[in-house]
């Protein structure tokens, strides 16, 4: 590994101009002759978000010394696809808030938001087509299908105490697949060899797995103020995540019943959030999930350690640390 570490501020500095260009591109790409779409697009763009996915695409392209305009265009594409999935997610989950603000569906209603999400998907592909590269389109089409399948699979499994294997398949589709594709797109732009492309795609996948496991832990343990949405919303939606699955594999029949009641009824009736946390604490389940995220983060680092040392490589080595240590 590299001797000189790099921190978040330096990574941001490294990408600042490109990320600003992606923001502008996102703004331009989401303007339509239909007011509702432009309004919803603007609202979503203004909702913050860490822009981790476009940042990964930029880093990957820079790792292969790519200097064209395509990275900015595709950075906007992946963020628009991500945003479209969030809009549809919030409708499916009947979410009231997203990143501390009202979810778009609470303001424009489900019908308009479904259609705005559809429009955003197609707009993302319209911009991607400008690269005139079938491999890029292939990667984006497969990604979008994986994500939609993931959402459908999750709906089928709602309220069920699923296995760890099923859970990992879901988080791969929901999150890690997009992280992986961001890295792959940067590599395609930069003319990477097939081996190099697979290395960075694996980095993205492992980083995405770590990211989602931490996300799920924070949903159970963080405060609503920090999270920007209600805590334990996964359990309330009938979703069991890694820490809960870990506890289920170890707990008493009585404790299992408690967890099953929340998941089945999708509400804390007679069983409180604190009761669930108590069970998780008893079996070290939160620590186990965090340890798993750390392991994935380590695998991500290993996937790129053979690349020559550079500022970009150091930024990529830092990202897994940032993902595991974050608080929201």
Four-residue CA torsion sign, 134, 14, 144, 33 = negative
Query: Which domain does 285 fall in, by range?
Result: 8-325
With 80 as the cut, is the pLDDT of residue 284 above it?
A: yes
Q: Measured between alpha carbons, how far is 119 from 264 in angstroms, rounded to an integer? A: 34
With 70 as the cut, is the pLDDT of residue 3 above it?
A: no
Q: Measured between alpha carbons, how far is 244 from 277 in angstroms, rounded to an integer? A: 9
Neighbours of 273 (CB within 10 A): 15
Q: Please measure the distance between the N-terminal and C-terminal CA atoms of the chain and give it in whole angstroms.
A: 27
Q: What is the band of 4 on the pLDDT scale with cuts at 50, 70, 90?
A: low
Predicted local confidence at residue 108, as pLDDT? 98
Whether residue 99 is contained in a domain is answered as yes
- Is residue 44 helix, strand or coil? helix
Average pLDDT over residues 2-27: 88
C-alpha angle 111/116/118, rounded to 5°? 100
Q: Measured between alpha carbons, how far is 326 from 322 in angstroms, rounded to an integer? A: 6
CATH number (domain holding residue 66): 1.10.600.10
Predicted local confidence at residue 224, as pLDDT? 86
CA distances from 287 to 245, 291, 294 (A): 13, 6, 10
Whether residue 76 is contained in a domain is answered as yes
> How many percent of the chain have pLDDT more than 90?
92
- Is residue 98 helix, strand or coil? strand
Both tokens of residue 97?
A: 């808030």
Whether residue 295 is contained in a domain is answered as yes
Four-residue CA torsion sign, 71, 77, 79, 85 = negative
Predicted local confidence at residue 2, as pLDDT? 44
Whether residue 59 is contained in a domain is answered as yes
Whether residue 1 is contained in a domain is answered as no
- Is residue 166 helix, strand or coil? helix
Residue among 15, 18, 26, 135 nearest 83 (CA): 26
pLDDT digits (tens, 9 = 90+) for 107-164: 999 999 999 999 999 999 999 999 999 999 999 999 999 999 999 999 999 999 999 9
**HSE of 192 in the Cβ direction (CA atoms, 13 Å)?**
22
Whether residue 3 is contained in a domain is answered as no
pTM score: 0.96
For 225, counting Cβ atoms within 10 Å of its Cβ (0-12 exposed, 13-18 middle, 19+ buried), the class is exposed
With 90 as the cut, is the pLDDT of residue 229 above it?
A: no
Whether residue 17 is contained in a domain is answered as yes
With 50 as the cut, is the pLDDT of residue 1 above it?
A: no
pLDDT digits (tens, 9 = 90+) for 182-216: 999 999 999 999 999 999 999 999 999 999 999 99
pLDDT digits (tens, 9 = 90+) for 288-321: 999 999 999 999 999 999 999 999 999 999 999 9
With 90 as the cut, is the pLDDT of residue 6 above it?
A: no
With 80 as the cut, is the pLDDT of residue 237 above it?
A: yes
Q: What is the band of 7 on the pLDDT scale with cuts at 50, 70, 90?
A: confident
Whether residue 28 is contained in a domain is answered as yes
The structural domain count of the chain equals 1
How remote is the C-alpha of 238 from its chain's centroid?
A: 20
């Amino acid at each position: 590994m590299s001797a000189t570490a790099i921190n978040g501020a330096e990574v941001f500095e490294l990408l600042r101009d490109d990320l600003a260009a992606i923001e502008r591109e996102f703004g331009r790409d989401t303007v339509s002759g239909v007011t509702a779409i432009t309004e919803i697009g603007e609202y979503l763009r203004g909702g913050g978000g860490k822009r981790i996915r476009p940042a990964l695409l930029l880093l990957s392209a820079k790792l292969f010394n790519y200097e064209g305009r395509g990275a900015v265009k595709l950075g906007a594409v992946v963020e628009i696809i991500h945003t479209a999935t969030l809009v549809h997610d919030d409708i499916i989950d009947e979410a009231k808030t997203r990143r501390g603000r009202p979810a778009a569906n609470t303001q424009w209603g489900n019908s308009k938001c479904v259609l705005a999400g559809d429009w955003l998907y197609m707009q993302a592909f319209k911009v991607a087509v400008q690269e005139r590269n079938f491999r890029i389109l292939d990667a984006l089409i497969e990604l979008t299908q994986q994500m939609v399948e993931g959402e459908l699979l999750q709906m089928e499994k709602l309220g069920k105490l699923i296995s760890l294997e099923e859970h990992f398949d879901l988080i791969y589709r929901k999150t890690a697949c997009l992280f992986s594709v961001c890295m792959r797109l940067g590599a395609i732009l930069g003319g990477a060899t097939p081996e190099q492309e697979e290395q960075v795609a694996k980095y993205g996948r492992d980083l995405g797995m770590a990211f989602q496991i931490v996300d799920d832990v924070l949903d159970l343990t963080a405060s609503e103020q920090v999270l920007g949405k209600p805590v334990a919303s996964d359990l309330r939606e009938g979703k069991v995540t890694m820490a809960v699955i870990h506890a289920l594999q170890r707990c008493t029949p009585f404790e299992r019943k408690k967890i099953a009641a929340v998941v089945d009824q999708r509400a804390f009736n007679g069983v409180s959030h604190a009761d669930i946390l108590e069970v998780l604490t008893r079996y070290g389940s939160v620590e186990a999930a965090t340890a798993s995220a750390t392991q994935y983060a380590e695998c991500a680092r290993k996937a790129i350690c053979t690349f020559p040392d550079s500022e970009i490589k150091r930024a990529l080595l830092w990202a897994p640390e940032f993902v595991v240590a974050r608080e929201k």
